[in-house]
Amino acid sequence: MAKLFVVGVGPGSEDLVTPRAKKAISRAGIIVGWNLDLEPVRSLLDGKKLFIQSVENYRSVARAAAEEARGSGRDVVVLRIGDPCLSSGLKGLLEDFEGFEVEVVPGISSVQLAAALAKVELGECVVVSFHDYGDTQEKKEFMTNCLKSGKHVFVLSGAELTVEGTAAYLLGVGFDPTTRAAVFTRLGLEGESAEFTTLGEVATKVHNWLSILLVYSPKKAVSRFTRA
Ligand SMILES: C[S@@+](CC[C@H](N)C(=O)[O-])C[C@H]1O[C@@H](n2cnc3c(N)ncnc32)[C@H](O)[C@@H]1O
């Protein structure tokens, strides 16, 4: 029986792909992923059968790859940017590959890279994703409550809520425009940037969709070593 590997490829650059991820990719005959997921490992994909996902077809493409793997007995790798256990549609994927033996190969998440750049303790932070499952309004309120109770918040912006939309929402519910924030864009990829700024400033600009917003809790003292 073919095996499914769900492989995290890190945030973007090839030197952040783990040896374990490279090994799983090199052994598989079938590769599934969105174009962005393929980016850090392009050099490893020659000769593989590729199933490219997009917003219109990602479930049907995953099911087609599952059929191909069942028919051919070849192992299949689903690539995911960052870590596959963070906002990567893992639940749906496991349904689409029902019956397969599954191994998840962790990757370095974009959130870990952003935390490293900001030099913040992840234990003092919460991650909120506006990409996948869940009610958007509930997530907005959760984010607000976390900030009010002293947790810094990493926001994975998405179609549901952009970086600037998140900042505008927080200003709308009463956060001060001078609240400290940072925007990390295209980490590990061409055009990478990290901007340490304020919520008021973030709300005034349009940001690249591949960005993470960090909002520092006004309740929490920020260490003098933390960039903010
Ligand atoms: C579908 S989620 C995938 C998250 C991914 N599994 C991870 O662990 O980083 C996509 C969101 O993650 C963030 N993201 C992923 N890769 C990024 C990168 N290289 N630079 C900045 N943000 C990134 C952005 O907020 C983006 O909208």
Q: Where in the chain is the domain with CATH 3.30.950.10?
A: 110-215
How far, in Å, is the centroid of ligand 1 from the Cα of 112? 10
Distance, CA of 94 to CA of 97 (rounded, Å): 5
Best of 9, 41, 87 for a ligand 1 pocket test (most atoms within 8 Å of beta carbon): 87
- All CATH 3.40.1010.10 domain ranges of the chain, comma separated, are 3-105
Rounded to whole angstroms, the Cα distance separating 189 from 58 reads: 23
Write out residues in the chain with pLDDT < 70, as ranges: 222-228
Contacts of 195 (CB under 8 A, 6+ apart): 182, 183, 185
Distance 214 CA to ligand 1 centre (A): 13
Q: pLDDT (tens digit, 9 = 90+) per residue, 127-141?
A: 999 987 788 999 999
* Whole-angstrom distance, CA of residue 228 vs CA of residue 209: 22
Does residue 89 line the site of ligand 1, with CB under 6 A? Answer: no
Does the interface ipTM go beyond 0.95?
A: yes
Distance 12 CA to ligand 1 centre (A): 9
User: What superfamily in CATH does domain 3-105 come from?
Assistant: Tetrapyrrole methylase, N-terminal domain (3.40.1010.10)
Q: Residue 191: left if φ>0, alpha if ψ -120 to 50, beta else—which one?
A: left
pLDDT one-digit tens code per residue, 183-197: 999 999 999 999 999
pLDDT at 227: 61
Q: Which atom of ligand 1 is nearest to 107's Cα?
A: 8
Buried b vs exposed e over 42-64: b needs ≥16 C-beta within 10 Å? eebbeebbebebeeeebeebbbe
Q: Which atom of ligand 1 is nearest to the CA of 110?
A: 9
Q: Is 131 in the pocket of ligand 1 (CB under 6 A)?
A: yes
Atom of ligand 1 nearest to the CA of 158: 27
Q: What is the pLDDT of residue 223?
A: 64
Cα of 142 from ligand 1 centre, angstroms: 20
Do you know the residue count of the chain? 228
Model pLDDT, residue 145: 98
Whether 83 lines ligand 1, by a CB cut-off of 6 Å, is yes
Question: 136: which 2 tokens?
Answer: 């958007």
At residue 31, the pLDDT reads 98
pLDDT at residue number 116: 96
Gap from CA of 81 to ligand 1 centroid (Å): 7
Give the CATH number of domain 110-215; options: 3.30.1300.10, 3.40.50.300, 3.30.950.10, 3.90.1300.10: 3.30.950.10
